[in-house]
Amino acid sequence: MINYHAGWALPITSPPIRHATVSVDGACIAYVGPRLGAPPGEDRDLGDAILLPGLVNAHTHLELTAMRGLLPGMPFVSWIRRLTQARSAVLTDASMRDAAAWGIAEGLTAGITTYGDTCASGVVVEALRSMGVRGIMFQEVFGPAPEQREPALASLRSRIDALRPLETDLVHLGVSPHAPYTVHEDLLVDAAAYAVGAGLPVAIHLAESDAEMAFLREGEGPFADGLRARGISVVRRAHSPVHLLVELGVVLARPLLIHCVHVDETDIAFIAEHGCPVAHCPASNAILGHGIAPVRELLDAGAVVGLGSDSMASNDRMDLLGEARFATWCQAARLHRPGALSDTEALTLATLGGARALGLERRVGSLEPGKDADLAAFGIPAAQATALADPWTAALAAAGTPAMLVTVAGRERVRDGQVVDLDAGLAARVGASAEALAAWRRSLASH
């Protein structure tokens, strides 16, 4: 038994505890409550720190971590194309595996213990395993042309078959038909049906951009133009991406809906009625110029919402407390209502919300006896320690501060802001990838 003592514990599913102890027995939480005087086992005093359940990143693309800062300020459709070109021109499975491990190292120091990852290459399963974290890797599938339906599905099946032996108690697989504008609707239905049959969760990028809305609603815009240029016919298809999933029956797979920036009242009602969870990525949505998702309305309708960092190609940090803090600011600004999304709610999205969005709420997302011991502790910067009335606010204000301690299923993964047993050569290898990507980009600019 290890007893972690801290100034505050925020169990999420029960009120904050001042002067708290969280006891861990093997991989599980055994006790959460007021500070124990002389408990059996080992004691670790975290001082004035705030102890949280490990944060859950409901959406990222770890394989793209070396692309940070590579393609700033580009229109979304051009950005996706450049990103795809860069990946095939410069990156290899080995470099993407390193990038994923490096992204997890950054996430761990930010207190993130669980990763919902959508992955084209399939390398993230290995990275999650090697870094000792929890996660679901949703294997991506692409194919906008009707004739891609069968080969893409066959390739998905064989990829999943090859990866299944790598699953562990902490690391699982899922399926991600990428998005309505990159996956033909027949393939979308087939992939979802395959996943349901195989007992795998589904995730899809949805209602993210103005271009996606124009594509589905009008059969127009840059995505439609791009497909037509490849000889693929495009028709005006649905009122919205959410309506499309309802019409196709894909909502029955209860897919994780990534983004949902462009959702109206009918979309929100469908999302709630069908119990589809949402991954909200506020920084990425802002940076890529998509806007601010109606998170307040989604929560009011009863939808399950988690927070995601998205990839480091559209964000500058993997920092889920930062996403939570930014989410509160965005909702207040959008609705002209202070506290429209409270700090308590935002931190709940970053923990239990993400766990529910990934179907892992029986294992993680809160500090409760019997749950897995995924913990994250943050020291409070001196200035804030003396002048923050509320531990929820204090936790969000710790955004960007390296975690003092992170455990996954009871195993220490971060100590004093440093990842335990980090591969010493990783930074240099990812740095070389980043340099190669930057050189590729410069070579484009010079032509």
Task: Say if residue 219 is exposed, middle or buried (CB neighbours under 10 Å; 0-12, 13-18, 19+).
Answer: middle
Place of tokens 């998170």: 295
Using DSSP bridges, classify how beta strands 17-25 and 28-34 pair: parallel, antiparallel or unpaired. antiparallel
Contact 222, 285 (CB under 8 A): no
For a second copy, the binding residue among 63, 106, 190, 361 (CB under 8 A) is 106
Note whether 374 and 413 are within 8 A (CB). no
| Given 73, 165, 197, 425, the residue binding a second copy (CB under 8 A) | 73
Minimum CB separation of residue 83 from a second copy in Å reads: 13
**Interface stretch with a second copy, choices 116-124, 162-170, 226-234, 330-338 (CB under 8 A):** 330-338
Please select the residue that binds a second copy; options are 27, 248, 388, 436, rule is CB under 8 A.
388
Comparison of 155 and 384: residue with beta carbon closer to a second copy: 384
Binding range to a second copy, per CB under 8 A, among 72-80, 150-158, 220-228, 404-412 = 72-80
CA distance 83 to 73: 13
- Tell me the three state secondary structure of residue 205: strand
Q: In angstroms, what CA-CA distances link 191 with 164, 200, 430?
A: 17, 10, 33
Q: Which is nearer to a second copy, 254 or 334 (CB)?
A: 334
Is residue 342 a contact residue for a second copy (CB under 8 A)? yes
Contacts for 319 with CB less than 8 Å, ≥ 6 apart: 110, 309, 399, 400
Burial class of residue 37 (count of CB atoms within 10 Å of its CB; 0-12, 13-18, 19+): exposed
Minimum CB distance to a second copy smaller for 28 or for 287: 287
H or E element, residue 427: helix 426-445
Kindly state whether residue 335 participates in binding a second copy, applying the rule CB under 8 A.
yes
Nearer to a second copy, 227 or 380 (CB): 380
Candidates 105, 98, 110; CA nearest to 428 is 98
**Which one of 93, 225, 300, 390 is in contact with a second copy (CB under 8 A)?**
390
Asked if 404 is part of the footprint of a second copy (rule: CB under 8 A), the reply reads: no
> Quick check: 97 binds a second copy (CB under 8 A)?
no
Nearer to a second copy, 198 or 426 (CB): 426
Restricting to residues 355-384, which ones interact with a second copy according to CB under 8 A? 382-384
For binding to a second copy (CB under 8 A), which residues are involved?
A: 65-70, 72-76, 79, 102, 105-106, 109, 210, 283, 285-292, 312, 316-318, 325-326, 328-330, 332-340, 342-343, 382-390, 393-394, 396-397, 399-401, 427-428, 430-431, 434, 437-438, 441
